[in-house]
């Protein structure tokens, strides 16, 4: 089947999608967007988190067909600027600067979830950060650097406003 959707601001039509295919598979394997990671494919780890109509979802749990006529934003789409001249979003920069990235498998999902948190709550407490990121698992960092990155991203956003 064909799926028509908007991805990172661009209208797309994707052909030959099979009925059981996940949004994650379609993004990664058919659309050249490997940023969202496939770590568990069961909705457990959050590595595949993308925005669907402005709400973070696990792309591995969403059927590709459910994205018909809807808007998806992936971690690639958070970067600012025209194609070829993109700059990292403040959240992406903060994860790099805080040393919150090791193997990087969890990072795209954490960045999308953090982006959403800070949009909704520009000055989250540590408890609110932990709650917002509770569905995003990391097996490398011990989470402290991730908390540092979220705090740094919130500070940067606040300073830019
Ligand atoms: S790959 Fe989707 S939640 Fe783990
Ligand atoms: S950096 Fe490796 S899983 Fe988080």
- The full set of domain ranges for the chain reads 3-78, 90-160
Q: What is the pLDDT of residue 9?
A: 94
C-alpha 158 – ligand 1 centre gap (Å): 30
Query: Which of 95, 98, 102, 149 to probe ligand 2 with, by most ligand atoms within 8 A of CB?
Result: 102
Q: What percent of the chain is modeled with pLDDT above 70?
A: 100
Confidence of residue 85 (pLDDT cuts 50, 70, 90): confident
Alpha-carbon distance 14 to 91, whole Å? 30
Q: Pick one of 1.10.357.10, 3.40.50.2000, 3.10.20.30, 3.30.70.360 as the CATH number of 3-78.
A: 3.10.20.30
Residue 124, classed as helix, strand or coil, is coil
Q: What is the pLDDT of residues 107-155, one digit of tens each?
A: 999 999 999 999 999 999 999 999 999 999 999 988 999 999 999 999 9
C-alpha 147 – ligand 1 centre gap (Å): 21
Q: What percent of the chain is modeled with pLDDT above 90?
A: 89
pLDDT at 10 over 90: yes
pLDDT at 83 over 80: no
* pTM given for the model: 0.95
Q: What is the pLDDT of residue 7?
A: 98
Domain 90-160: CATH class, spelled out: mainly alpha
**Nearest by Cα to 97 from 155, 161, 157, 153:** 153
Alpha-carbon distance 71 to 5, whole Å? 6
Lowest mean pLDDT among 38-42, 101-105, 154-158: 154-158
Residue 93, classed as helix, strand or coil, is helix
> Helix, strand, coil % (nearest 5) of the chain?
40, 15, 45
Measured CA distances, 17 to 34, 42, 53, 68 (Å): 17, 20, 20, 11
> Is 3-78's fold the same as 90-160's?
no
Q: What is the pLDDT of residue 157?
A: 87
pLDDT at 161 over 80: no
Residue identifier of the C-alpha nearest atom 2 of ligand 2? 103
Alpha-carbon distance 107 to 93, whole Å? 12
Q: Tell me what the mean pLDDT of segment 79-101 comes to.
A: 91
């Amino acid at each position: 089947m064909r799926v028509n959707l908007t991805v990172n601001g661009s209208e797309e039509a994707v052909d030959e999608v099979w009925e059981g295919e996940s949004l994650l598979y379609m993004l990664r394997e058919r659309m050249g967007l490997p940023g969202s990671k496939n770590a568990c494919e069961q909705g457990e780890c959050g590595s595949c988190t993308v925005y669907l109509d402005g709400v973070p979802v696990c792309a591995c749990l969403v059927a590709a067909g459910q994205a018909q006529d809807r808007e998806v934003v992936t971690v690639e789409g958070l970067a600012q600027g025209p194609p070829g001249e993109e700059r990292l979003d403040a959240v992406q920069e903060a994860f790099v600067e805080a040393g919150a990235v090791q193997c990087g498998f969890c990072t795209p999902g954490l960045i999308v979830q953090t982006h959403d948190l800070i949009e909704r709550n520009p000055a989250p407490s540590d408890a609110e950060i932990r709650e917002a990121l509770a569905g995003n698992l990391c097996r490398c960092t011990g989470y402290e650097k991730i908390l540092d990155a979220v705090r740094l991203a919130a500070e940067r956003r606040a300073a830019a406003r």
